[in-house]
Structure 1
Amino acid sequence: MLIAGLGTLIFKKRKLIEVFPKSVRTIWNGCELRVLVLLSLFLQMVLILLGKRRKYIAKNWIRIVLWVAYLSADWIATVSLGVLSQAEGDSKDQSFDPNYIIMSCWAPFLLLHLGGPDTITAYSLEDNELWPRRFLELGVQSVVAFYVFLRSWTGTPINALAIPMFIAGIIKFGERIWVLRSASSDVFRDSMLPRPDPGPNYAKFMDGYSSKKAEGFKISVGTFEAPTVVRHNNFPDALHEASYFFKTFKRLFADLILSFQDR
């Protein structure tokens, strides 16, 4: 059923394309890839400029523009890689064509776009839970980009410049997946759990107490209060205490309970 549905979709797409005149289709086939790459670059610029502004500007137009740009950026970059791989597969005897050679830089360039800008990693908390899909996408898109890179390899200096960009694109995409995983609910909750504290070892304490008493030492058992630390009311101490209490209070956002010592 899935194959039949895809075949029907391709057939309808071809019928839709045939509606346009042949001159329009010729122009579009020549500039399709360039338009997609420029559109992907434009969406990245929108995310860079408006990614942080939603934190202190509560306006609906910013939310709508960011939402559309965030959802469209990955889709456009993925479609561009698909068109690029198809163009590489259809090309024959074009190893010395400048347009063919420059395609080796577009594949890692699109990988950088899939990594996203540093101003916005996820639009909502639900996006963090989808990090396994992003991990699978990293593997698939890296293989496609590497295929395009190998097909367009001609040994020219521009091919050599694409190698560090390709490595940077994989690292950038991997960093985004790592951040999404770190912010997911399960991993975030596990990171908030303190180290296990079994409490005092009473058996070891009683063994030491009995051995010291048998040796003739005068031993008494009691409690003592910790010395009171006098803190000066200055800004560095306030920041230190605020950081300490913030780490404790942050556990409540991960649906964790506080221990007796924390309370």
Structure 2
Amino acid sequence: MTDFITRFAPSPTGQLHLGHAFSTLTAFETAQKADGRFLLRIEDIDTIRCQPEFEQGIYDDLEWLGLAWETPVRRQSEHFDEYRAGLERLMAMGVVYRCFKTRKEILEDIGRAPHHPGEGPEGIIYPGPAEPLSADEEAEKIATGEPYAWRLSMTAAQARLGDLSRLTFQEIGEGPNGETGVCRIQPELIGDAILARKDIGTSYHLAVTLDDAKQDISHVIRGQDLFFATTMHRILQALLDLPVPVYQHHRLLTGDEGERFTKRDRSETLAAMRAAGANAADIRRQLGFDW
């Protein structure tokens, strides 16, 4: 059995565009050259924005591009019990807490803090509450039905693991600032990230980390925009005693004016190109894949 397994893991919240095509072709071709396995995963934990027609569109677009993948396809919406089990392990360790603060309240707290760490590559860095809620205060908020998020406490994680910045991962691609080789994580750029919500039992960070371990992913191939998310994934791997894949963050494909492709730009979707008569082989060559 091969020891090289990678994946392409889109969310069905819109149609795929050229950036997605570049990412999945990169992963597929790398697996082919390594005589490895290529998996497709549907990351549909957002049960409101994810739609069946977008999921079908993913299959149609990738098949048109000439890709093949193993079945059955793992769909995250079918595995909330596994994510809950992972979250409960973290609860038992005492490294997560309920956060009832809204985004507005967090921004107000930040405005009052004289030495706040500011904004990182993943957005506003939330360093956690100045004072934790008492058990009675938390119970009262739960009883009144207030929404909350489960956050990973960086302070508690560090108390359990030691100096988090000593955790490393192998990067065979290149981060946005040229990072490559053995890379140290940068927890100071992340803060207390959300791992689940009251109404959604997991987040991207928790689900993707557990999925990669469950599927024996040996190489995570994805865009440079997710390079700094590796810090959170590496901490979760250490806490949950999960294997650490090799990472390959590839360059981001951009338009003529240097802008990133988005699902909102419908003119650049693969479906629109296909409907306009585009040829898949031409698209592959345009993206640098000559096969």
TM-score, reference length from structure 2: 0.19
The structure having more radius of gyration, on CA atoms, is 1
Larger relative contact order (CA 8 Å, sep ≥ 6): 2
More helix by share: 1
Q: What TM-score, normalized to structure 1?
A: 0.20
Higher percent of residues as strand: 2
